[in-house]
Each structure stands twice: as C-alpha cells, then as structure tokens.
Structure 1
Amino acid sequence: MMTNLFSVFDPSSMIFVSLNWISSLIVLMILTPMFWVTPNKFFLSTLKICKKLHDEFKMLLGPHSSVGSTIPFISLLMFILMNNFMGLFPYIFTASSHMVLTLTLSLPLWLSFMMYGWLNYTKHMFAHLVPQSTPNLLMPFMVLIESISNVIRPLTLAVRLMANMVAGHLLMTLLGNQTAAASNLILASLILTQILLLTLESAVAMIQSYVFAVLSTLYASEITPH
C-alpha cells in the first residue's frame, strides 16, 4: 500500500542497494548494432536522427566549433530520451524524475563550461555580463541579474526535466487510483484519459530531452566569442 502519492517515485528497492537505478542503463544492453552483419532499420533510423541533430547542434555552436563537439550533446539527448521512455513502461523506475540524476547531468556540464570560459575567454565572459546598449546607470544591476541567472542555470535545467516527468506520472497515478471504485462509464472514461495522457507523456519525453540538450548547447556556445 502506498503511504503517499510520491511513493511511486521512491528509488529504494532494497535496504542497502537501490537496484532501481539500473533502469537508466537497461537499454544499453539491447543497443548492439555493431554485432549485426547488416545494419538493421532501427540502427539506420537512429543514425539519420543523429545526423540531423548534429547539423542543428553544429549550427548552434557556431562554425568555429571543434570537430566532434556535438557528440556529448547528442549522447546526452539520447540518454535522457531513453530514460524518459523507459519510465512510461509499467513497473520500470523513472530515473529522470529525480534531482539526483538531472542535477548530476546539468551541474558538471555547467561547471565545465564556466571553468573553460573564465580561464580562456575572461574578457568575453565579463563582457557577456552586460548586454549591449545598457545605460551606465543600470550596468551594476545588469551584472548582478546576469550573474544570478547564470548561477541558477544548472538548477533550472535539472528542475525543468524533473518537474515535467513527475507531473505526468503523478497525474496518471491519481487517475489510476480511482479505477477500483469506478462504474463502467467512469472506468471507460478513465481508460481513455489514461491513453491520452500516455500519448502526451510520450511527447513530453521527447520534448524535454530535446530542450535539455539544446539549452546545454546554447550555454556552451555562449562561452566562446564568435
């Protein structure tokens, strides 16, 4: 019996070891295209998606970005998308609905961007704190506002992904708890609503992984002068 609504997001499966976190890596066990003599359709479609993402991320990073700079962001998108979709299956733990995972992804990225930018492009990073055409009187306030918005970026990235995944799963849990005492008409309505919500959650899973990767790419593009 559930003690509260959020117990469905409890990562603990054992007293000493939380084996539910293995769900974030379960798809990697079946993604083995290198063992195929002839590439299958899934591998070819994934390759086309990766090429399209590469072109888009390359455009965001700028023409002077180094070779292979889009690979971390494509890998990040695929990893988050995999975890979001795995959470839609019954009895599979949604790792991306926890700050432990989302903050682990966003904080190291942000720290690496900041360290690289401030160590190599210090003047550009200082200039980035003051937008163009800012009046002299507002410059101190703009520096403070830009600094705060820059510092909270990893938190906003983590909370955005976590909150969107929790909201849909929580709504489906609320509707699922009403099926036991529902009449036939209400039960049919609940099942239809659950199907619609599942479709919406599939779209949210794709959109949130894309948003996370695109925002990370934009943050990376801001640290180098173009």
Structure 2
Amino acid sequence: MTNLFSIFDPASSIQSYSNWLSSFLLLFFIPSIFWLIPSRIFFMFYKIINKLFMEMSILLGPNKSFGSPMLFITLMLFIMFNNFLGLFPYIFTSSSHLACSMALSLPLWLSFMIYGWFNFYNHMLAHLVPQSTPNVLMSFMVIIETISNIIRPLTLAVRLSANMIAGHLLMTLLGNQTSNAYFLTLYILLFTQIILLTLESAVAIIQSYVFAVLSSLYSSESSY
C-alpha cells in the first residue's frame, strides 16, 4: 500500500519541474481590455478588485502607500486560483505544499520585520509589551510576543497547506471507495463528494482571504 500523502507528490511523465508552472496559469485568465467597451467579465472583475481594495485600505490604516493594498489583493488572487486548480483532476496543487506557502509567507514577514525594526524601532519594541501588562509579567510577555512574531510565517504557511491537504485527503479517501461500492453506497459517496467539493470551493476562497488579511495586519503593525 502506497503512502496516502503520495497523491500530493509532484509527478510528471517527463520527470521535469513543469508541475509548478500551473501556478502561473492565472495570467491567462485575467480579463484584458481588447475593446472600447469593457466586457461583463472585466466589469465584474473590476468590482471585486475595487471592493477588496477598499477593505485592504481599511486594514492597512491611513499611513499606507497607494500600492500596498494591490500587493495583498494580488497575493489573495494568486492563492485562490491555485486552491481552485487543486479541485480539478490531474492538476498539481501547489498551495498544498509548504515549499509554495513558505515562499509566500517568509519573504513578506521578513520584509515587514526589517522595515519596521530599521524605521520604527521604538514602535516595534512597544508591540512586545501589550497595554495594561503588570510589571511582574513584562519580561514573560516580551518572550511570548517575540516567539509569536517569529512563528508567524510558519503559522501562515501551515494554515494554508493543512487546510488544502485535509480536504483533498478526505475527497481522495472517499473516491477510492467508489470502485467496490454497491449502488446505494455509490450514490451516497457521490452525494458526499459533491458536498465536499462545494465546501472545498468555499475553503479555497476563505483561506486565500485569511492569508491576505493576516499579511496585511502584520504589515500594519510594522509601520507607524
């Protein structure tokens, strides 16, 4: 019996790294302007981007730069598209691997920390001790807050990968039982997989939104 997690291994008939190219298929689905009058797809895409821009602007605060919300909107769309790709058969799911999620979370966290400590040193030190903390617990709170800041990129990456792996594993386990199932059991399994597919579609959107929102909150903490 093979390892259950082997379904997430990148495999190719030519033994190449072309599986990771699925992450860049988003470029082919972004609506472009080819006509004087925008299409309905472009108009819907513009409405979604505008709504996300307003929400990210509120999270980043008044001292944000103009392009900062677009950075997190692009990050959210990239993760959401990769999550949706994993719901299709025979398509590599890059967002379920820590190599991909850590490559997104670690550079963001490092850039926020370096920018904050070099430009707002006192502000970053003040974040290590919450308000109304007793004097006895201040040293312990500094240690706890330091550890929580260090593990932030790991928690972002593990949250995304674990949620993607959990749903895919459950759908794979149910799908492996359909070959030997009776008619009634087969209908139940198919109905259950349809429900799981709907839930996984919601999880794909929610996890990308959570990743972008938490990243924007970490960014707002490192700026004064």
Same fold flag (TM > 0.5): yes
Work out the CA distance in 2 between the residues paired with 1:68 and 1:27: 20
**1:124 — aligned with what?**
123
Using the TM superposition, give the Cα deviation of residue 3 of structure 1 relative to its aligned residue in structure 2, in angstroms.
2.0
**1:21 — aligned with what?**
20
Work out the CA distance in 1 between the residues paired with 2:15 and 2:90: 20
Q: Which moved more, 1:169-178 or 1:21-30?
A: 21-30
Using the TM superposition, give the Cα deviation of residue 101 of structure 1 relative to its aligned residue in structure 2, in angstroms.
0.5
**1:12 — aligned with what?**
11
Matches within 5 A, 1:144-223: 144-223=143-222
1:93 partner letter = F
| Alpha-carbon contact 2:87-2:197 (below 8 Å) kept | yes
| Alpha-carbon contact 1:110-1:153 (below 8 Å) kept | yes
Q: Which moved more, 1:35-44 or 1:148-157?
A: 35-44
Work out the CA distance in 2 between the residues paired with 1:9 and 1:104: 18
Identity %: 64
**2:100 — aligned with what?**
101
Q: Which moved more, 1:106-115 or 1:60-69?
A: 60-69
* Post-superposition CA distance 1:89-132 (Å, at most 9, x none): 11111110000100000000000000000000000001110001
Using the TM superposition, give the Cα deviation of residue 64 of structure 1 relative to its aligned residue in structure 2, in angstroms.
2.0
Work out the CA distance in 1 between the residues paired with 2:31 and 2:201: 24
**2:86 — aligned with what?**
87
| Alpha-carbon contact 1:84-1:96 (below 8 Å) kept | yes
Work out the CA distance in 2 between the residues paired with 1:178 and 1:76: 36
| Alpha-carbon contact 1:33-1:40 (below 8 Å) kept | no
RMSD: 1.3
* Post-superposition CA distance 1:121-169 (Å, at most 9, x none): 0000011100011111111000000000000000000000000000000
TM-score w.r.t. the length of structure 2 is 0.96
Using the TM superposition, give the Cα deviation of residue 209 of structure 1 relative to its aligned residue in structure 2, in angstroms.
0.3
2:180 partner letter = A
| Alpha-carbon contact 1:103-1:155 (below 8 Å) kept | yes
Using the TM superposition, give the Cα deviation of residue 5 of structure 1 relative to its aligned residue in structure 2, in angstroms.
1.3
Runs of 5+ consecutive residues of structure 2 not aligned to the other structure: none
Work out the CA distance in 2 between the residues paired with 1:38 and 1:18: 40
Relative to structure 1, the CA distance from residue 87 to residue 36 in structure 2 (aligned partners, 3 Å threshold; closer, same or farther) is farther
Work out the CA distance in 1 between the residues paired with 2:87 and 2:146: 37
Runs of 5+ consecutive residues of structure 1 not aligned to the other structure: none
**1:142 — aligned with what?**
141
Work out the CA distance in 2 between the residues paired with 1:61 and 1:32: 27
Q: Which moved more, 1:60-69 or 1:144-153?
A: 60-69
State the aligned residue count. Answer: 224
Work out the CA distance in 2 between the residues paired with 1:163 and 1:172: 14
Work out the CA distance in 1 between the residues paired with 2:41 and 2:33: 12
| Alpha-carbon contact 2:83-2:95 (below 8 Å) kept | yes
TM-score w.r.t. the length of structure 1 is 0.95
Using the TM superposition, give the Cα deviation of residue 15 of structure 1 relative to its aligned residue in structure 2, in angstroms.
6.5
